[in-house]
Copies of this chain bind each other. A is one copy, B any other.
Amino acid sequence: MTNLDKIMKPRTIAVVGASTKDHTIGSDIMKRLQEYKFNGKIYPVNPKGGIIEGLQAYTTVNEIPDEVDLAIIVVNAKFVLATIDQCHEKGIKGLCVITAGFKETGKEGAELERQLLEKVKEYGMRCVGPNCLGVVNTNPEIRMDGCFAESLPERGHIGFVSQSGALGGGILNILKDLNLGFAQFISIGNQADVNAETALEYWENDDDVEQILLYMESIQNPANFRKLATRISKKKPVLALKAGRSAAGASAASSHTGSLAGADKAANALLKQSGVIREYSLKDLFSTAKVFANCPIPQGDRVAIITNSGGPGIMATDAVCEYGMQMAKISDETKEKLRSFLPSAASVKNPIDMIASAPIEHYKQTLETVIADENVDMIMVIYLPFLGLKDIDVAKAVMEIKAEHPEKPVIGVFMTKNEFFTKLSDMDVNMPFFMYSEEAADGFNRLNQQRLWMNRPEGKVPCYDVDRNKAEQIMKGALLDGRDQLTTLESIDLLSAYGIRACKYGLATNEEEVANLGNSIGYPVVMKMTSKTTSHKTDVGGVRVNIQSEEQLRAEYQDLIAKLTEKGLIDGLEGVIIQEMVKGNREMVCGIATDPQYGPMMMFGLGGVFIETMKDVTFRIAPLTDVDADEMIKSVKAYGLLKGARGTTPAQMEQIQETLLRLSQLVNDYKFIDELDINPLLISEKTGEGIAVDGRIKVRAEEAKKTLNVACSCGCC
């Protein structure tokens, strides 16, 4: 199903809507196919017949006296469906519908697109578009430029998918300037059939595509994208520019997790979990692509800097260190060698400053010496122009040495005139060159990130033994009661049923029960109201902590009842929960939010009153692997607190990890769980365990009822 060979590697192409009229797409596409010297046969199709771009035109595809692999369709939208029928009759399996006027224009267009997709599926075709710029394959055996961008494509090994046609065209225009070529380009347009996921899968085992670039405004099937990207990014770098961050719009959710989440957080989590390198600007996307196109994946993160000027060396060091990479410790042997030919004023410590007088020979010798040092994984070579040395000669000399050492990434930083880069773009290069050291440091960071991802264990989604019966009973109870929001008590019970460590507790509905419960749990205890109507308990004074005695407990209870009565909130009150008081001052939070597009998403981070202010939380799409959970814990700043700062007990990391994984299992088992907060997940000072001392759970009632077979109490369904 994901084989796009008919579209991307056709032997014969029909251009349906080919035209003799200049500056029309039907004319441009014909010209482009010929100009770029398509390796197969081109058949123009036009109801008027005649000669188009020197080729015999056919009035319909059926007349073409040959098998046709790909039909590029540029006819008016209203003729597209009929054209597809004709293609089917002809036995064509590959379509590229450039024509606009579908989903992007509104309701009618969307209906037309639905019909288009129906036909494509029915006929067993694959279709790129509609409303797209076309497709390109630069492989010398194919040479297909079926696209109406301004420039001819530049040969290289990038697979590039663009959701925006115009942007895709803009990008193709500037790739040559950037010394970046690509292997295949798919403008997915409205992505009725072929989308980024199809392309990913198609390119997985295509050696001509060495890295994949995605420009996306949306992700169509996040779960499928995750599965594919996770696998493929281990084989070749996958880079994504995902636009529309600010458009994400505030979620109306009432939970903490929900209010901190949002579509862009979800996209970010998904890309991170999938090993996709996310870039935030085209500039960065191209810089990174340039680095992957010209560098191997390094063995480590130790960077050496070779320079002919101190200042840029300092700036490069700043940039490398800010990414958390290491400045390589040059070995004594290497230093000695360097000293043997560099002047005494040179510095052989990293950054290696050959000083302004360095001739080309010093660039060669120094690089050769440093590249051989096994303490060095990546090398930045900085050149500033001084009278007498030609930038392009220095670059050539450096590339000569680099050619003998393909195993280590080398990046050139040439702070010279723009024309140097213009010259380079006409040359074969074996390493990337930038104007500024920060760009090179960015590049090393991306290489290192890809290295870490490729070494990262795959991880497993564990399956714990849990009490599903009890869990379902609790939720059914709430639903039968007409609630989509579980009470605190129900929430804590549900968490316990899933094996999540919650503190000892009991529910009491009058003062005597309160006192008995307090005495049986043992002081100090915490008293919390549980209500069907009030969800943010703290705001109404509904949480009382550190109650030391029965006497105090009774007093607090009386006071609470009085306050709630006064505020008119007494009616929803189910009672109060008396809990063991877990001592600890580290409050974490974990929870679940559901993104309409990406589905359930897990959150972990610093909890308590700090949640909204500090926003020290991280997200991952569920289900989590053990590695995901581990990374979540380590990626928040509060990890420092968990490790045990200033004499506090180190937290039980594995137990916290398990808490996250059990939550992930819970939401995977019951996908109708809409929101879930454990806040706080208190870190016990005594044992270091993470203990759920409060929980809030909300379900999507209709979905939950269906899944759990709960008859609606309304009597009408």
Which of A217, A345, A609, A638 lies at the interface centre, i.e. has the most chain B CB atoms within 10 A of its CB?
A: A609
A322 to B244, CA, bound (A): 11
Do the beta carbons of A610 and B641 come within 8 Å of each other? yes
CB-CB under 8 A from A245, the residues of chain B are: 318, 321-322
Give A146-191 interface residues, CB cut-off 8 Å to B.
Answer: 148, 150-151, 163-164, 166-167, 169-171, 173-174, 176-177
Tell me, in angstroms, the Cα distance from A170 to B282 when the chains sit together.
Answer: 26
Is residue A415 contacting chain B, with contact meaning CB distance below 8 A?
Answer: yes
A308 located at the interface, meaning its Cβ lies under 8 Å from any Cβ of chain B in the complex: yes
User: Is A54's CB within 8 Å of the partner chain B?
Assistant: no
Chain B CB count within 10 A is highest, among A386, A437, A648, for A386
Please determine whether A177 and B585 come into contact, CB atoms closer than 8 angstroms.
no
A150: B residues at CB distance < 8 A: 385-387
Bits for A447-480, please: 1 = Cβ < 8 Å to B, else 0. Answer: 0000000000000000000000000000000000
CB of A562 closer than 8 Å to a CB of B:
no
Any chain B CB within 8 A of the CB of A121?
no
Q: How far is the CA of A171 from the CA of B148 in the complex (A)?
A: 39
> A167 touching B311 by the CB < 8 A rule?
yes
> For residues 217 through 268 of chain A, which have their beta carbon under 8 Å from a beta carbon of chain B?
217, 241, 243-247
- Is A309's CB within 8 Å of the partner chain B? yes
CA distance A170 to B173 in the complex (A): 29
When the two chains form their complex, are residues A384 and B170 in contact, meaning their CB atoms are under 8 A apart? yes
CA distance A714 to B243 in the complex (A): 70
Instruction: Point out the residues of chain B lying under 8 angstroms from A356, CB to CB.
Output: 166
In the bound complex, what is the Cα–Cα distance between A388 and B150 (angstroms)?
Answer: 9
Q: Which of B282, B318, B438, B609 sits near A246, CB closer than 8 Å? A: B318
Q: Which residues of B contact A319 (CB under 8 A)?
A: 281
**Central interface residue in A173, A241, A319, by most chain B CB within 10 Å:** A173
- Chain B min CB distance to A411 (Å): 15
Residues on B with beta carbons closer than 8 Å to the beta carbon of A318: 243-247, 280
Chain B proximity mask over A626-641: 1 for CB below 8 Å, otherwise 0: 0000000000011111
Confirm or deny: A51 has a beta carbon within 8 angstroms of a beta carbon on chain B: no
The reply on A546 being an interface residue by CB < 8 A is yes
**A155: shortest Cβ distance to chain B, in Å?**
18
Fill in one digit per residue for A300-329: 1 if any B CB lies within 8 Å of its CB, else 0: 000000001111101101111110000000
A567 touches B (CB below 8 Å): no
- A647 contacts chain B at the CB level, 8 A cutoff: yes
Instruction: Report A71 CB to chain B, min CB distance, Å.
Output: 23
Contact between B387 and A166, CB atoms less than 8 A apart: no
Is the beta-carbon distance between B28 and A169 smaller than 8 angstroms?
A: no
A716 within 8 Å of B (CB atoms): no
Interface string of A86-101 (1 = CB under 8 A from B): 0000000000000000
A503 interfacial by beta-carbon distance below 8 Å: no
- Chain A interface residue count, CB cutoff 8 Å, equals 84
The answer to whether B435 and A283 have CB atoms under 8 Å apart is: yes
**Docked-complex contact A438 and B283, CB < 8 angstroms:** yes
Evaluate contact between B609 and A637: CB separation under 8 angstroms.
Answer: no
CB of A21 within 8 Å of the partner chain:
no
Interface presence of A23 (CB below 8 A)? yes
Q: Are B613 and A640 in contact (CB under 8 A)?
A: yes
The answer, yes or no, to whether A193 is at the interface (CB within 8 Å) is no
A439 to B308, Cβ gap below 8 A?
Answer: no
* Complex alpha-carbon distance, A648 and B319, angstroms: 41
Cβ–Cβ < 8 Å partners of A640 in chain B: 612-613
> Does A512 reach chain B (CB closer than 8 Å)?
no
Instruction: Tell me which residues across on chain B come within 8 A of A169, comparing CB atoms.
Output: 384-386
Distance A587 CA – B388 CA, assembled complex (angstroms): 62
User: Measured between alpha carbons, how far is A614 from B607 in the docked complex, in Å?
Assistant: 13
Contact B638 A609 (CB under 8 A): no
Q: Which residue of B lies closest to A314 (CB)?
A: B243
A436 in contact with B282 given A314-B217, A314-B247 (CB within 8 Å): yes
Point out the residue from B315, B612, B645 that lies within 8 Å of A282, measured CB to CB: B315
In contact, A646 and B244 (Cβ under 8 angstroms): no
Max count, chain B CB within 10 A of own CB: residue among A23, A388, A610, A648: A610
Report whether A387 and B174 are in contact in the complex, using a CB–CB cutoff of 8 Å. no
Residues on the B chain within 8 Å of A638, using CB:
613-614
Is A566 in contact with chain B by the CB < 8 A criterion? no
CB of A321 within 8 A of CB of B246, answer yes
The answer to the question of A418 belonging to the interface, with a C-beta cut-off of 8 Å to chain B, is: yes
Contact surface of A with B, Cβ cutoff 8 Å = 23, 28, 105, 148, 150-151, 163-164, 166-167, 169-171, 173-174, 176-177, 215, 217, 241, 243-247, 280-283, 308-312, 314-315, 317-322, 345, 356, 384-388, 415-418, 421-422, 435-439, 536, 538-539, 546, 548, 585-586, 606, 609-610, 612-616, 637-641, 645-648
25 pairs from A and B in contact (CB 8 Å cutoff): A28-B387, A166-B311, A166-B312, A166-B386, A167-B309, A167-B312, A169-B385, A173-B416, A174-B415, A174-B418, A217-B311, A241-B315, A243-B311, A243-B318, A245-B321, A246-B318, A246-B320, A280-B438, A282-B436, A282-B438, A418-B421, A585-B609, A609-B648, A612-B645, A612-B646
